[in-house]
Chain A
Amino acid sequence: ASWFPKVCVWARKALNLLQRNLEGYVGFANLPNQVYRKSVKRGFEFTLMVVGESGLGKSTLINSLFLTDLYSKDYPGPSQRIKKTVQVEQSKVLIKEGGVQLTLTIVDTPGFGDAVDNSNCWQPVINYIDSKFEDFLNAESRVNRRQMPDNRVHCCLYFIAPSGHGLKPLDIEFMKRLHDKVNVIPLIAKADTLTPEECQLFKKQIMKEIQEHKIKIYEFPDTEDDEDSKLIRKIKEKMPLAVVGSNVVIEVNGRKVRGRQYPWGVAEVENGEHCDFTVLRNMLIRTHMQDLKDVTNNVHYENYRSKKLAAVTCNGIDTTKNKGQLTKSPLAQMEEERREHVMKMKKMETEMEQVFEMKVKEKKQKLKDSEAELERRHEQMKKNLEAQYKELEEKRRQFQEEKANWEAQQRILEQQKLDASKTMEKNKKKGKIF
């Protein structure tokens, strides 16, 4: 047949490719280790945002996920503090485990959905995410890019109240506006309020509504690895994850577990049959943290960047707030940067001089004060000494007087004695006594 030689050629080519085996050990198999070592040294950064109405257990879940008391009695979570408008707050914590260092930033949004009128309560959140993108964009566009901290929001956990019915208009609105800007992972909060059947139905309903409204939640990447893809399929079936959080450790049948104690039983946080907390934790921290960062970088950030740059180049005039660094040529940019730098230096110099002056004045003043103090004390001591001297003089005089008196007395006594002995002699002579 005519196809046979063609197939032979093809096969040979393929085999050639396959046969590019190495004749010796080159060593680039070690590359992953090098990357690993470098990363470990550098440490990792991860920014996690939590959004949801107050009272849905966000703070507790964060504490449970990272096994730290990010929110504790001394620094209570935002729900415990009263707030009137939606705030965006950020807390940083450094976690070390097995030599690996993670700088975790938790962005919280207290006040979200709590007011009577919640229109536009998502605006502060969007503004925050955009500002982080902008910072990164500016840092990336500089000529001097040595330090580029990555503060972009890598993942947004959205908490859905366990009503059992479906999504609320606020949920839908928020997710629609944010699915293009950040990886949105919806969670069912306080899931111990639902029975397993209710939970299943609720999840189905939510996924249906998410599809209806074309909301793009975070999708797990496909892998070629069979095992991984099985795992991923399992996770996908469970979306949205129903979680329960707790920082309290309770004893159940001799085991110590984290859970919530009810009169009718203990809901265990880490039990896969009770809730999906372990799935969330494994996915978020153990398997997909890097992927979340990658998607943020490659998809969401790039979207933002292209939109921003397109707006600039399209109009010529920059309609959005922009430091204007993208329209200049690198040389001009460099000049500007240099000028900026010089200005900064000058400012710092004048500041330092001011501070120095102030300090000198302070020191002088202090020295003067202490000098005056010493003078005073000197005076005081002199006075004391004089007083003592006078006292002593007085005492001496007295003493002299006494001495004189005593001597006078002694002389009188002596005289008396002499007189007495004389008379005794006389009497003896007279032989009257004895």
Chain B
Amino acid sequence: SSKNHPEHLSSYMSEIVPPEVRPKPAVPAKPSHVAPPSRSALFGYIGIDTIIEQMRKKTMKTGFDFNIMVVGQSGLGKSTLVNTLFKSQVSRRSTSWSRDEKIPKTVEIKSVSHVIEEGGVKMKLTVIDTPGFGDQINNENCWEPISKYINEQYEKFLKEEVNIARKKRIPDTRVHCCLYFISPTGHSLRQLDIEFMKHLSRVVNIIPVIAKSDTLTLDEKTEFKQKVRKELEACGIECYPQKEFDEDMEDKSDNDKIREAMPFAVVGSDKEYQANAKRILGRKTPWGVVEVENPNHCEFSLLRDFMIRSHLQDLKEVTHNIHYETYRAKRLNDNGGLHPISSSGQDTQESNL
């Protein structure tokens, strides 16, 4: 990508995104409802369609970033789930049963980055953990450090964007997705859950999941999910995928299906067991083996397909086009249009926007 790229002033330089086409999902292809554009008869093969292949090559070379934040009380299986999602030890396990690190007195933000590769595509995955959230006796405003962190990342990006001499590829540390872990009480959301989601659903994409759902029977699961959905609606909390950002009917119907199934009841595991002559990820109890990837047992595979195989790009786009833009607009309006001069940037000249 060159600096003279005219189309997207706000496009992130880490990859080139054409306007309408999304990368092919690994799930079976949806039937196309889009009417093909009227074709003028081509008198020979030009080769326009090779642009997809070119983009793919470029993307594979540059790779892309994905930042996921996990929030929830300690002991809800956050690290295990992230490890299971990305099938590698990417999350700093908060305990190795020795508990040398006690529960921190305030919420800390710890991020760990790994580069993982699959099919030639490189992804720099950053997992942002929030130990100490909801663990204290007094949890007033424990979402503030998290909110601050997210806004700091937007600020960083904004600063880079607003420079006169911009970097070729702005490092994207913004949080693309926040997985919020709900404790499987089976009754309702806790006050803390509601407060957190109220404060943060407008700032970041929140995907609520029911943690350790192997503690709920099927009936309890359905009941609990319904209750949670009702409560979220009653409080006006919109989780990802947000209804207002559905682009067309196809999107809407796909997302509606997902919204009906949320919050996903998940179980995480990084141990493998033998069952039916296969090695599967699961949890072995005296009364049976909980299979993590079995849709009858838990909805982990739904979550993974949704987050990674179909909506990964969308998560980034919504973060960039909507959450970040909201932040940017607010910032520029607040400062009367003038961007404050940074005290440390001596090698970057800041433009007056």
Contact = CB atoms under 8 A, between A and B. Distances in A.
A170 B136 CA distance: 7
B96 to A, nearest CB: 10
Given A163-B76, A169-B135, A193-B215, A56 B296 contact: no
B275 to A, nearest CB: 10
Chain B interface secondary structure, helix, strand, loop or mixed? loop
Given A116-B195, A262-B214, A170 B137 contact: yes
Contacts of A117: 137-140
Interface in B94-139: 94-95, 97, 99, 103, 135-139
Given A192-B285, A195-B285, A261 B217 contact: yes
20 contacts: A79-B187, A116-B139, A116-B140, A119-B137, A163-B73, A163-B75, A163-B76, A164-B77, A166-B99, A192-B214, A193-B212, A195-B284, A196-B285, A205-B97, A263-B218, A264-B288, A264-B291, A265-B285, A266-B287, A271-B286
Contacts of B103: 168-169
A80 B190 CA distance: 13
Interface string B191-227: 1100100000000000000001011011000000000
Nearest to B284: A195
Chain A interface secondary structure, helix, strand, loop or mixed? loop
Contacts of B301: none
B192 A116 contact: yes
A267 B138 contact: no
Interface residues of A, number: 42
Nearest to A208: B99
* 3 closest A-B pairs by CB: A163-B75, A55-B185, A265-B288
Contacts of B63: none
Contacts of B137: 117-119, 121, 169-170, 173
B75 A54 contact: no
A161 B183 contact: yes
Contacts of B290: 262, 264
B186 interface: yes
Interface in B285-302: 285-291, 294, 296-297
A80 B284 contact: no
A338 B28 CA distance: 89
A121 B289 CA distance: 39
Given A116-B139, A119-B138, 8 more contacts: A56-B185, A79-B185, A116-B140, A162-B212, A163-B73, A163-B74, A192-B287, A266-B287
B75 A164 contact: yes
A327 to B, nearest CB: 39
Interface of B: 73-77, 94-95, 97, 99, 103, 135-140, 183-187, 190-192, 195, 212, 214-215, 217-218, 283-291, 294, 296-297
A385 interface: no
A119 B297 CA distance: 38
A190 B215 contact: yes
A294 B248 CA distance: 72
A201 B192 contact: no
A165 B286 contact: no
Residue of A161, A163, A261 contacting most chain B CB atoms (<10 Å):
A163
Contacts of B136: 169
Residue of A162, A195, A196, A260 contacting most chain B CB atoms (<10 Å):
A195
A268 interface: yes
A165 B99 contact: yes
Contacts of B284: 195
Nearest to B134: A116
A268 B287 contact: yes
Nearest to A121: B137
Contacts of B195: 116
A318 interface: no
A263 B191 CA distance: 31
A247 B139 CA distance: 34
B84 to A, nearest CB: 15
B215 A274 contact: no
A169 B77 CA distance: 19
Interface string A106-138: 000000001111110100000000000000000
Interface in A260-318: 260-268, 271, 273-274
B187 A80 contact: yes
Contacts of B212: 162, 193
Contacts of A190: 215
Nearest to B267: A193
A264 B289 contact: yes
Given A118-B139, A201-B97, A263-B296, A165 B288 contact: no
Contacts of B192: 116
Contacts of B95: 165-166
B199 to A, nearest CB: 12
Contacts of B289: 264
Contacts of B297: 262-264
A238 to B, nearest CB: 15
A267 B140 CA distance: 38
Contacts of A268: 287
A265 B215 contact: no
Nearest to A209: B99
A195 B290 CA distance: 10
A174 to B, nearest CB: 9
B301 to A, nearest CB: 14
Nearest to A120: B137
A274 B82 CA distance: 28
A266 B218 CA distance: 12
B75 A165 contact: yes
Nearest to A113: B137
A162 B140 CA distance: 23
Contacts of A201: 97
Nearest to A199: B285
A163 B76 CA distance: 6
A263 B299 CA distance: 13
B214 A205 contact: no
Nearest to A172: B137
B251 to A, nearest CB: 32
A161 B286 contact: no
A262 B187 contact: no
B283 to A, nearest CB: 6
A261 B219 CA distance: 10
A264 B103 CA distance: 34
A168 B75 CA distance: 10
Contact of A205 (B76, B99, B138, B285): B99
Contacts of A168: 74, 103, 135
A375 to B, nearest CB: 62
A336 B297 CA distance: 70
Contacts of A121: 137
B287 A267 contact: yes
Nearest to A267: B287
A169 B75 CA distance: 13
A173 B185 CA distance: 22
Interface in A37-85: 53-56, 79-80
